[in-house]
Copies of this chain bind each other. A is one copy, B any other.
Amino acid sequence: MKNASPTIRDVAMAAEVSVATVSKYVNGTKRFSPEVESRLKETIEKLGYRSNPLARSMITGRTRTIGLAILDISNPHFTNVVKGANRVALEHDYTLLLVDTEENPARERALIEALAQRVDGLVISSRLSEKESTWMLELNKPVVMLRHSHELTIPTVGIDNRLATYMLARHLLNLGHRRIAYLGFGQASINDERIGGVRDCLSEVGLSLDLYDAHAPTAQAGEQVCSKVLLGPQRPQAVICYNDLIALGFMKEAKALGFRLPNDVSVTGIDNAPYGEYAEPTLTTVDTQSEKMGELATLKLVDALAGRADTAHLILEPRLIVRDSTSVCTDLAAGKT
């Protein structure tokens, strides 16, 4: 049976050296006399020895594992975060321990605390407010949060949400839209920032904002809330959605309701999900650089783990991506102001 893997002892005996020598050889810590080196090499090869990472971790205190907690892998934003995190982790010889909390804030703490025990550090995306997140300081492990934050001393990587929606609102104003609605997702802590960005922009020209809420950050939720928005008393000329998924669902239902897009209503998302490009009309959105967020957050963590601490908050710049779901306001074109 090959069942019992050889231990460092087996190698030491077979090669007639001490375990310490084997250990040093395996870790490349020192140099050896040619004969010992070749004997070790040969023996390790023959026995198929691989050092047990658990035992090593117990002593060194490092697991070369990074914990990544996200809210929903099905959401393209997080898919891209994972993509970026995975790449950087592999480059630095780390592995990702992944937890998908499935948009369930009640489970977050327990899951993340359990995760923290098995990793060297964590990258966390959370629905908890900053005040509800103070326990993260007591994990005694380096943490990088995926959000734009100031109150906590936890380093963060995020995008400028206010600017993102400000840009979208400005774009819509430029197209002549005046009745602009924001279709948000109230559970998200960044929702208020996004509302703020739209408000900032609209108030500059003395316009107010209609608010709607989707019950989830998903296409399905966007579909469900669509009729309420478009068939209500004050139909907006343009709708800014919390994310691309909501926007895609919203557009689908709008078309089903008989609206022509973008003529009857302009729609925007946020995130630059890969499939906004394949929708009809193609989706105007703001690129929030999800993959880069995952990369930079992981890099920040790797740096912290290597002693190069860096507690600064990193804020990425959003970039407006204009496609076909937004167009010149037809009310304007028709002279109705």
Cβ-based interface call for A80 (8 A): yes
Given contacts A58-B55, A74-B79, A117-B52, contact A274 B95 (CB under 8 A): no
A310 at the interface (CB under 8 A from B): no
Interface residue A42 (Cβ < 8 Å from any Cβ of B): no
Given A73-B82, A219-B274, check contact A50 B117 (CB 8 Å). Answer: yes
A3 proximity list for chain B (CB < 8 A) = 140
Question: How far, in whole Å, are A249 and B278 apart by their CA atoms in the complex?
Answer: 7
**Complex contact B279–A118 (CB within 8 A):** no
Chain A residues touching B, majority SS: helix
Q: Taking the complex as formed, is A251 at the interface, i.e. its CB lies under 8 A from any CB of chain B?
A: yes
Which of chain A's residues 170-198 have a Cβ closer than 8 Å to chain B? none
| Contact in complex: A97, B99 (CB < 8 Å) | no
Contact with B along A57-70 (1 / 0, CB 8 A): 11000010100000
* Residue from B80, B97, B251, B280 within 8 A of A96 (CB atoms): B97
Measured CB to CB, the nearest residue on chain B to A93 is: B114
**Complex contacts, A115 vs chain B, CB 8 Å:** 95
22 contacts between A and B (CB under 8 A): A3-B140, A50-B113, A50-B117, A52-B58, A52-B117, A54-B57, A54-B58, A55-B58, A65-B118, A73-B79, A74-B80, A83-B100, A87-B100, A87-B102, A95-B114, A95-B115, A95-B118, A97-B98, A248-B278, A249-B278, A279-B280, A280-B280
